Structure 1
Amino acid sequence: MTKTSITTLNMKRKFDVPAEKVFNAWTKVEMLKKWMFTMEHTNKVAKSDPRVGGTWEIVDHRGGKDYRAIGEYKVVEPPTKLVFTFKMPQFSDLEDDITVEIQSLELGCEMNFTQEINVTHEEGWTIKDIEKAHEAWKKETEQGWHYMFLGLKELVETGKITYPSF
Structure 2
Amino acid sequence: MENISTTTLTMVREFNVAPEKVFDAWINPNMMKKWFFTLEGTNKVCKNNPEVGGTWEIVDHRGGKDYRAIGEYLEIDPPKKLVFTFKMPELSGNDLADTITVELKEQEQGCEMTFTQEITVIHEENWTDADIVKAHDDWRSGTEQGWYYMFLGLKELVETGKISYTGQ
Q: 1:164 Cα shift?
A: 7.1
- SS, match of residue 41 in structure 2: coil
- CA offsets per residue over residues 105-147 of structure 1, 9 Å max, x none? 0110000000000001011111111000000000000000000
- Percent sequence identity is 67
In 1, Cα distance between the equivalents of 2:124 and 2:77?
38
Secondary structure of the corresponding residue to residue 155 of structure 2: helix
Q: TM-score of the superposition, structure 2-length normalised?
A: 0.96
1:116 aligns with 2:153: no
How much has 1:63 moved relative to structure 2? Answer: 1.1
Which residue number in structure 2 is paired with residue 45 of structure 1?
Answer: 45
Q: CA deviation at 1:26?
A: 0.2
User: Tell me, which stretches of 5 or more residues in structure 1 are unaligned?
Assistant: none
Tell me which residue corresponds to 1:100.
Answer: 102
Q: How does 1:17-166 map to 2 (within 5 A)?
A: 17-92=17-92, 93=94, 94-163=96-165
How many Å separate the matches in 1 of 2:112 and 2:49?
24
In structure 1, C-alpha distance between the alignment counterparts of 2:111 and 2:145, rounded to whole Å: 22
Closer/same/farther in 2, CA of residues 6 and 37 from structure 1, 3 Å limit: same
Runs of 4+ displaced beyond 3 Å: none
Q: Distance in 2 between matches of 1:142 and 1:35?
A: 15
CA contact (8 A) 2:85 2:98 kept: yes
Contact 2:19 2:104 in 1 (8 A): yes
Q: 1:91 offset after TM fit, Å?
A: 1.4
Deviation at 1:165, TM superposition (A): 6.9
Provide Cα deviations, 1:28-62, integer angstroms capped at 9, x if missing partner: 00000000000001000001111000000000011
> Do the aligned partners of 2:42 and 2:167 also contact (CA within 8 Å) in 1?
no
Shift in CA distance, 46/164, structure 1 to aligned 2, threshold 3 Å: closer
Cα deviation digits, residues 53-102 of structure 1 (max 9, x gap): 00000000111110000000000100000000001010122200000000
